Structure 1
Amino acid sequence: MSAQLRLVVFDCDGTLIDSQHMIVAAMNHAFDAHGLENLPREKVLSIVGLSLDEAIEALVPHVDLPLRRKLTESYKGAFFELRSRKDLAEPLFPGVRETLDTLSKRDDVLLGIATGKSQKGLRHALESHRLRDYFVTLQTADDAPSKPHPEMLRRAMRETGIDPADTVLVGDTTFDMQMARAARAHALGVDWGYHEPHLLTQSGARAVLDDFGGLAPALDEIWTRVAEIPTGGA
């Protein structure tokens, strides 16, 4: 009898990859290019997880649409140009590769990503860290509405044929938790990203991890509880 397949979908920035320095630097460059005052670092990081258009609108809602579009293009250009700077490196968070190795060897687990990045940006990040082969589904802001809309997660479930009850979203922002809840999937937060742990819990996280070593046990706990629910149960 084949194993019951489960799906684990990861956010990227703030969950797998520590991209905060690059994001802040690129945003500052974009604002400088258009004569706008730089925003506090915490404010910029608060929008990580949204698609770029949604993030710019959230940061400067008072700015008109033509200028927001220019800021978006300037950010993209700055992000590309700044990739070569060593002081803006985007390292993996501790335990990422080991965790993905462990999960990918399980015959009952498939892995995916749902991120506010573009497909181009995501693929560059994954290839830079040699992570691409771990994931069977890649969902980005190119393919669906921005988080917290559930469509990215729904697409991942459709592509893999896995039900919400067997799907867990792992992320560092309230947008991730809200997306999972809207898709009727489970959510686990991580405390090394860009939103405070208590906000993740308030937004629907079943638990908030303090290191990747706790992920596999947390997943098994969720799926054990799901398996114990009688058919037709709530």
Structure 2
Amino acid sequence: MSAALRLVLFDVDGTLVDSQGDIVASMTAAFGALGHPVPPRDAVLGIVGLSLPEAMARLAPGLGPDIHAQMVAAYKDSYVALRATKGVASSPLYPGALAALQALAGRDDVLLGVATGKSRRGLDALFDSHGLRGTFVTEQVADHHPSKPHPSMVLTAMAETGVEPRDTVVIGDTVFDMEMAQAAGVHGIGVGWGYHPRTQLQARAASVIDGFDALPAALDRIWGAGA
């Protein structure tokens, strides 16, 4: 009897790539374009992982949907411009990320996926810059789902791959990722190098790792070593 397929779903910003510089710069541009005070850096990084409309609503709850929509457009314009100027330096891969992806992709029993608050356009541009096209068999983006922590991205990824919840793991750096995993009935592994405090992740994750070299052991603990 063949082993069950496992699905590993990665968040992107703060998990695979460090995009905080461009995120903060683009949020600053978005608020500045509409003449509103820029939120503190910690507040901006605290909403990473949410879809942009939800992020704007949380950062500027006193403003209406029309203003939020204008901020979203200004943010996207700034982010695209920064990416065009900086290239791959716009969102560098974290140390060990590429090796971890390659190792998991080489396993016959593991499928890789993405569940991200990025748009389709943003994810495609990122994958092109890092040569990651074809690495993931399922790619869930903000264009087609409610914002995290709604479980839609995870549920759709499982439906596309045919993998059961018990064999599915979400890896992310934010509370929203871990809450999304819980809502979908799957496992969550937090990463300690991202944008939300480790203490917040520990309350919701099966484990929190501090480097990609710790990921195989964390997955073994969930699935059972050698299972």
TM-score by shorter chain over 0.5? yes
CA contact (8 A) 2:148 2:180 kept: yes
How far, CA to CA, are the matches of 2:160 and 2:84 in structure 1?
Answer: 35
| AA matched with 2:143 | D
Q: Determine helix, strand or coil for the equivalent of 1:132.
A: coil
Partner of 2:11: 11
Partner of 2:159: 158
Partner of 1:232: none
How far, CA to CA, are the matches of 1:191 and 1:40 in structure 2?
Answer: 21
Partner of 2:176: 175
CA displacement at 1:3 relative to structure 2: 2.6
CA displacement at 1:220 relative to structure 2: 1.3
State yes or no: 1:67 paired with 2:67.
yes
**Equivalent pairs: percent with the same residue?**
52
CA displacement at 1:167 relative to structure 2: 0.2
Unmatched 5+ stretches in structure 1: 228-234
Unmatched 5+ stretches in structure 2: none
Shift >2 Å, 4+ stretches: 84-89
| AA matched with 1:13 | D
CA contact (8 A) 2:188 2:205 kept: yes
Q: Determine helix, strand or coil for the equivalent of 2:23.
A: helix
Partner of 2:28: 28
Partner deviation per Cα, 1:66-123 (whole Å, 9 max, x = no partner): 1111111111111111213449621000000100111011110000000011111111
CA contact (8 A) 1:3 1:107 kept: no
Map 1:64-213; keep pairs closer than 5 Å: 64-86=64-86, 89-202=90-203, 204-213=204-213
* TM-score, normalised via structure 2 length: 0.96
| AA matched with 1:71 | M
Partner deviation per Cα, 1:11-58 (whole Å, 9 max, x = no partner): 000000100000000111111111111111111010000001100101
CA contact (8 A) 2:82 2:90 kept: no
How far, CA to CA, are the matches of 2:149 and 2:133 in structure 1?
Answer: 24
How far, CA to CA, are the matches of 1:65 and 1:56 in structure 2?
Answer: 9
Partner deviation per Cα, 1:104-149 (whole Å, 9 max, x = no partner): 1111000000001111111111111111221000001111110000
How far, CA to CA, are the matches of 2:195 and 2:9 in structure 1?
Answer: 18
CA contact (8 A) 1:190 1:210 kept: yes
CA contact (8 A) 1:153 1:183 kept: yes
CA contact (8 A) 1:7 1:112 kept: yes
| AA matched with 1:151 | S
How far, CA to CA, are the matches of 2:193 and 2:14 in structure 1?
Answer: 7
* TM-score, normalised via structure 1 length: 0.93
CA contact (8 A) 1:138 1:156 kept: yes
How far, CA to CA, are the matches of 2:147 and 2:33 in structure 1?
Answer: 25
CA displacement at 1:212 relative to structure 2: 0.2
How far, CA to CA, are the matches of 1:139 and 1:66 in structure 2?
Answer: 26
User: Number of paired residues?
Assistant: 225
